[in-house]
């Protein structure tokens, strides 16, 4: 990338376009939900989900999600239950428990093929067993056998994931609405997403920083929000709770999203969460919230909108999306240029190249757009290739890609996409609609072009996401961002590359250390082409036993780095072995490892160690200690550390003028909110 693109501005008019697309792209989403998988035109069985209880704790920069689910078999013979749910972002599935004869049995991790083989052998013998598997970037699948006729079977899942703050707003997603992009799954399985009796969602937020607001969008009539004082009398912090309780049945068809907004006074900061036991390797999570002065940018650009019009965009979704684009181009200045590219089985340049937004051109495009329908496959490569065509190197150029699907027509190899993008000096902003899309590819493309990718859920507080996107593209970015941590015994930092950080974004890295030591932390980036650097010094402790989950999150970040290499075409065997080794050592479900539950006798017969059992006991013990304690303040910077860590950017969310087009958007969002309904049976 040359300096022109790191300095150039992004116009308000196009930000409006991005915002409207985000709002309208989620209208009319077809429902593909988490739930029991049952073969179409086959044995539907008598198994159903009796109850589904979710408990979430957000503390110290990461979330623990626990799912306690009971299956019931009302038939006269035993069955196997297969349950799937969308893959949460950056989630480490680390516990699978099955209750056998009234006792909880915790799963252990094996290589994927071995785990599947053992599960099928146990199932065929009629032994109680369960296995959790990862289906690429799409979903986790849990198989349980037997669900005994006339009886109930209880299963428990736990996963951890790091959470980052965006413009002082935290966002947690419990994903339930699948993206409807797995064609083979849709063709073979029907999904029973109904919960027959009770569905509960109980979230606890513990924050050492003051929280201004909490919200569960889409559940306003059902959510119980409360604030509790900390049990520690020496600490006046608060604990925040959000609860949903459906006692007469519900459907697992919509994501549950929790927002929390930190007080506007919260500063930019550096936070460090360590874990180290005596005589062992320590692990840490380092999160940096920059407060650098990023100037507002005003110049216009050439914009290309690349819109997915494949079959998964059918129904009201495509029409409302096109209607949104129609409104946007009508608001542009004639000096701005734009193109509109659509794709399904092939790509089409709707506008015939860049055109100025004159009244005559606008009307011409409106007439063309009125005939666009959604059908066919998803030739993402052709859409992106056509979008990149005729980019004017003398003008700032940006591409907005909106898709909810997976490349399944034409070129689908990751390397082909990267090669295509490398040949153009252009930023790509990707909006990923719903769950189960090819997030690894879309995020990689955005990062490689110094753009950003943003997830949008069917239950999002869309207006807030609009403002978050607006604040990113209206200001300069921190390009080529890097974090260095120097100290005795520091090793295995990940991710190795941060890319660009936009206004309000955090940078989070994980690492290991051999002993307690002083460390120097350096954060560097380019602003408008000029190098900037900020430094602090702090200490990693010799003993820190409150957050053993950090080990799993570190391992997951390492696994993701290795998987990126595999997706980029690295030598598969050696990298695969590293993923398997990490999955087994830290008991994580990965692309190459699965978690299996066996009766104790069978565990002994197979010679399996209770590695995960021991790790879970350590984690549960630490969680019990933390539950009774006040939130921990993990800041390690201070007022002498320099400007980067003194002043956070003003969020611009919830106050101040937004202009007439955003008032229009607010009205659209309110209409969207009125249309959404919670499905309760």
β-pairing, 453-456 vs 427-433, is: parallel
507 touches 481 (CB < 8 A): yes
Please give the CATH topology (third level) of the domain spanning 32-266: Immunoglobulin-like (2.60.40)
pLDDT at 334 > cutoff 80: no
Instruction: Write a three-state SS string for 11-62.
Output: CHHHHHHHHHHHHHHCCCCCCEECEEEEECCCCCCCEEEEEEEEEEEEECCE
Query: At 3, is the pLDDT very low, low, confident or very high (cuts 50, 70, 90)?
Result: very low
Long-range CB contacts for residues 616-619, cutoff 8 Å, separation at least 24 = 616/94, 616/95, 616/106, 618/548, 619/548, 619/549
Burial of 183 (0-12, 13-18, 19+ CB in 10 A): middle
pLDDT at 22 > cutoff 80: no
* Count of other CB atoms within 10 angstroms of residue 239: 19
Q: Tell me the three state secondary structure of residue 422.
A: helix
Please give the CATH topology (third level) of the domain spanning 10-29+298-476+651-675: Rossmann fold (3.40.50)
Q: pLDDT at position 645, please? A: 47
Q: pLDDT at position 6, please? A: 40
Q: pLDDT at position 184, please? A: 72
pLDDT at 53 > cutoff 90: yes
Query: At 2, is the pLDDT very low, low, confident or very high (cuts 50, 70, 90)?
Result: very low
pLDDT at 67 > cutoff 90: yes
pLDDT at 402 > cutoff 90: no
- pTM to 2 decimal places: 0.84
CA distances to 210, 229, 239 from 235, rounded to whole Å, are: 12, 9, 11
pLDDT at 173 > cutoff 80: yes
Is the model more confident about 33 or about 588?
A: 588
pLDDT at 396 > cutoff 90: no
What is the signed CA dihedral for 259, 177, 163, 107, rounded to 10 degrees? 130
pLDDT in tens, 224-252: 999 887 655 555 578 999 999 999 889 99
Query: At 314, is the pLDDT very low, low, confident or very high (cuts 50, 70, 90)?
Result: low
Over residues 10-15, the mean pLDDT reads 38
Query: At 122, is the pLDDT very low, low, confident or very high (cuts 50, 70, 90)?
Result: very high
Over residues 313-324, the mean pLDDT reads 58
- Is the bond preceding 495 in cis, omega lying within 30 degrees of 0? yes
Q: How remote is the C-alpha of 411 from its chain's centroid?
A: 26
CA distances to 110, 111, 466, 558 from 590, rounded to whole Å, are: 10, 9, 33, 12
Distance from first CA to last CA of the chain, Å, rounded?
Answer: 53
Over residues 65-73, the mean pLDDT reads 96
> For residue 656, is it left (φ>0), alpha (ψ between -120 and 50) or beta?
left
Instruction: Write a three-state SS string for 224-273.
Output: EEEEEECCCCCCCCEEEEEEEEECCCEECCCCEEEEEEECCCCCCEEEEE
Query: At 259, is the pLDDT very low, low, confident or very high (cuts 50, 70, 90)?
Result: very high
β-pairing, 169-174 vs 165-166, is: antiparallel
Over residues 485-490, the mean pLDDT reads 94
Query: At 461, is the pLDDT very low, low, confident or very high (cuts 50, 70, 90)?
Result: low
What is the signed CA dihedral for 575, 577, 582, 588, rounded to 10 degrees? 100
CA distances to 163, 217, 234, 244 from 459, rounded to whole Å, are: 18, 6, 38, 15
Q: pLDDT at position 678, please? A: 33
* Count of other CB atoms within 10 angstroms of residue 180: 23
Q: pLDDT at position 17, please? A: 39
Q: How far apart are CA 463 and CA 663, in angstroms?
A: 10
CA geometry: angle 500, 506, 512, nearest 5 deg: 100
pLDDT at 513 > cutoff 90: yes
Q: State percent of the chain over pLDDT 70.
A: 80
Query: At 209, is the pLDDT very low, low, confident or very high (cuts 50, 70, 90)?
Result: confident
Quick one: CA dihedral 630, 631, 632, 636, positive or negative? negative
pLDDT at 357 > cutoff 60: yes
Q: Tell me the three state secondary structure of residue 614.
A: helix
Identify the weakest region by mean pLDDT among 4-18, 134-148, 602-616, 661-675: 661-675
CA geometry: angle 205, 104, 114, nearest 5 deg: 100
pLDDT in tens, 76-99: 999 999 999 988 888 989 999 999
Residue ranges per structural domain of the chain: 10-29+298-476+651-675, 32-266, 269-291+478-587+631-645
Max distance between CA atoms of the chain, in angstroms, equals: 78
Query: At 500, is the pLDDT very low, low, confident or very high (cuts 50, 70, 90)?
Result: confident
Identify the weakest region by mean pLDDT among 111-125, 180-194, 374-388: 180-194
**Residue 554 structure tokens:** 């570190």
pLDDT at 463 > cutoff 60: no
Q: pLDDT at position 329, please? A: 66
Half-sphere exposure of 671 (CA within 13 A, CB side): 12
Q: pLDDT at position 674, please? A: 36
Q: pLDDT at position 628, please? A: 83
Q: Round the average pLDDT of the chain to a whole number and report it.
A: 81
Q: Tell me the three state secondary structure of residue 530.
A: strand
Q: State percent of the chain over pLDDT 90.
A: 42
Query: At 179, is the pLDDT very low, low, confident or very high (cuts 50, 70, 90)?
Result: low
Is the model more confident about 299 or about 94?
A: 94
pLDDT in tens, 410-457: 888 888 888 888 878 788 888 787 777 888 888 888 888 888 888 877
Over residues 374-396, the mean pLDDT reads 85
Please name the residues in contact with 640: beta carbons below 8 A apart, sequence gap of 6 or more: none
CA geometry: angle 178, 56, 94, nearest 5 deg: 75
**Residue 356 structure tokens:** 């100025």
């Amino acid at each position: 990338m040359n300096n022109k693109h790191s300095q150039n501005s992004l116009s308000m008019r196009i930000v409006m376009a991005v915002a409207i697309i985000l709002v309208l792209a989620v209208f009319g989403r077809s429902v593909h939900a988490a739930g029991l998988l049952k073969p179409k035109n086959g044995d539907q069985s008598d198994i159903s989900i009796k109850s589904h209880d979710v408990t979430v704790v957000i503390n110290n920069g990461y979330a623990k999600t626990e799912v306690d689910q009971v299956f019931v078999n009302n038939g006269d013979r035993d069955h196997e239950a297969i349950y799937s749910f969308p893959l949460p972002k950056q989630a480490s599935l680390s516990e699978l428990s099955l209750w056998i004869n009234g006792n909880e049995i915790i799963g252990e991790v094996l290589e994927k093929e071995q785990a599947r083989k053992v599960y099928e052998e146990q199932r065929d013998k009629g032994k109680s067993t369960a296995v959790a598997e990862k289906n690429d970037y799409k979903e986790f699948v849990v198989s349980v056998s037997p669900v005994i006729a006339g009886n109930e079977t209880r299963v428990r899942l736990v996963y951890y994931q790091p959470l980052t703050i965006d413009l002082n707003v935290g966002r947690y997603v419990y994903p339930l609405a699948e993206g409807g992009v797995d064609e083979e799954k849709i063709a073979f399985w029907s999904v029973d997403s109904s919960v027959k009796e009770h569905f509960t969602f109980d979230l606890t937020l513990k924050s050492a920083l003051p929280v201004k607001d909490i919200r569960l969008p889409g559940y306003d009539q059902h959510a119980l929000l409360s604030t509790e004082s900390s049990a520690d009398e020496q600490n006046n912090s608060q604990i925040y709770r959000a609860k949903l309780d459906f006692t007469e049945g519900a459907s697992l068809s919509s994501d549950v999203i929790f927002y929390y907004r930190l007080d506007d006074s919260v500063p930019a900061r550096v936070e460090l969460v360590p874990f180290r036991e005596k005589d062992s390797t320590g692990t840490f999570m380092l999160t940096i919230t920059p407060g650098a002065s990023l100037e507002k940018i005003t110049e216009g650009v050439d914009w290309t909108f690349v819109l997915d019009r494949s079959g998964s965009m059918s129904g009201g979704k495509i029409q409302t999306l096109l209607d949104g684009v129609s409104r946007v181009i009508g608001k542009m200045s004639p000096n701005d240029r734009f193109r509109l590219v659509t794709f399904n089985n092939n790509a089409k340049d709707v506008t015939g190249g860049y055109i100025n937004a004159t009244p005559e051109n606008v009307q011409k495009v409106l007439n063309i757009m009125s005939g666009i329908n959604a059908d066919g496959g998803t030739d993402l490569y052709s859409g992106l290739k056509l979008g990149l065509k005729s980019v004017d190197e003398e003008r700032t150029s940006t591409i907005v890609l909106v898709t909810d699907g997976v490349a399944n027509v034409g070129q689908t190899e990751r390397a082909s996409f990267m090669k295509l993008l490398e040949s153009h000096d252009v930023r790509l902003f990707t909006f990923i609609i719903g769950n189960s899309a090819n997030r690894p590819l879309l995020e990689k493309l955005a990062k490689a072009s110094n753009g950003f990718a943003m997830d949008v859920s069917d239950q999002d507080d869309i207006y807030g996401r609009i403002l978050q996107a607006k604040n990113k593209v209206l200001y300069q970015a921190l390009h080529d961002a890097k974090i260095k941590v120097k100290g005795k015994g520091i090793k295995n930092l990940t991710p190795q590359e941060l890319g660009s950080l936009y206004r309000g974004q955090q940078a989070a890295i994980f690492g290991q250390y051999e002993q307690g030591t002083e460390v120097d932390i350096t954060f560097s980036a380019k602003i408008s082409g000029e190098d900037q650097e900020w430094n602090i010094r702090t200490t990693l402790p010799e003993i820190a036993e409150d957050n053993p989950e950090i080990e799993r999150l570190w391992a997951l970040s390492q696994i993701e780095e290795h998987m990126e290499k595999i997706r980029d075409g690295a030598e598969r065997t050696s990298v695969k072995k590293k993923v398997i080794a990490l999955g087994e050592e830290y008991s994580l479900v990965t692309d190459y490892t699965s978690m299996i539950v066996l009766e104790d006798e069978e565990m002994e017969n197979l010679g399996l160690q209770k590695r995960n059992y021991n790790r879970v006991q350590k984690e549960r013990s630490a969680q019990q200690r933390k539950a009774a304690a006040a939130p921990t303040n993990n800041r390690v910077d201070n007022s002498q550390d320099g400007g980067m860590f003194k002043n956070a950017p003003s969020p611009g969310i919830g106050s101040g003028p937004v202009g007439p087009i955003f008032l229009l958007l607010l009205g659209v969002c309110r209409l969207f909110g009125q249309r959404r309904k919670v499905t309760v049976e």
